[in-house]
Amino acid sequence: MKIAIGSDHGGFRLKEEIKSYFAKEAGNQQITLDDLGTHSEESVDYPDFGAKVARAVAAGEYDFGIVICGTGIGISIAANKVPGIRCALCSDTFSAKMAREHNDANVLAMGERVIGPGLAREIVAAFFSSDFAGGRHARRVEKLRALEQ
C-alpha cells in the first residue's frame, strides 16, 4: 500500500508523529509512506498541500492520502476539490472506520489542534484497517462520483 502524507505548518508536528507511527508500529506491513510536504513549521498555505496529496492519489500514484492542518477543515476542503477524491475529516475512530466502510474514503484529514497524537494514531489505525463494504454503499459512492461531472 502506498500512502502520500502532507500538511501545512499547522499540521506539521502531527504529520511527523504519524510518520513515526508508520515507521515503528506499521513497519512490519507492506506500506510505503511518502511525505509531500511541508517540511517545517514555516507558514505555508494548506490548499497547496491538500491539493498536492489529493492530485497524487487521484492520479493513481498512491492508494491513499493523509492530510493535516490546524483543524483539518481547510485542507480537507482543498483535497475534496480534486475529482476522484473522497476526503474524510475524522476526529474519532468510529468516523474513520465508517469513512472507509461506507464512503470508500481515499484521503484521511485530521486537525493537529483538535486531536492529540495518541488519538491520531488510533484514527489512522482505524482508517487503514477498514475496507470498503460495497453493497448498498457502492451505489451511494457512485452517486458521489457522478456529482463530479
Which residues on neighbouring strands pair with residue 35, listed in sequence order? 5
137 in active site? no
Alpha helices in 37-135 (DSSP H): 46-58, 73-80, 93-101, 117-128
Residues making up the annotated binding site for D-ribulose 5-phosphate are: 8-9, 70-74, 103, 113, 136, 140
* Contact between residue 65 and residue 56 where contact means Cβ atoms under 8 Å apart: yes
Annotation marks residue 102 as catalytic: yes
The catalytically annotated residue of 87, 90, 102, 137 is 102
List 2's β-bridge partners, or say none: 32
Q: Which helix (H) or strand (E) holds 21?
A: helix 12-24
Residue list for the binding site: 8-9, 70-74, 103, 113, 136, 140
- Residues tagged active-site: 69, 102
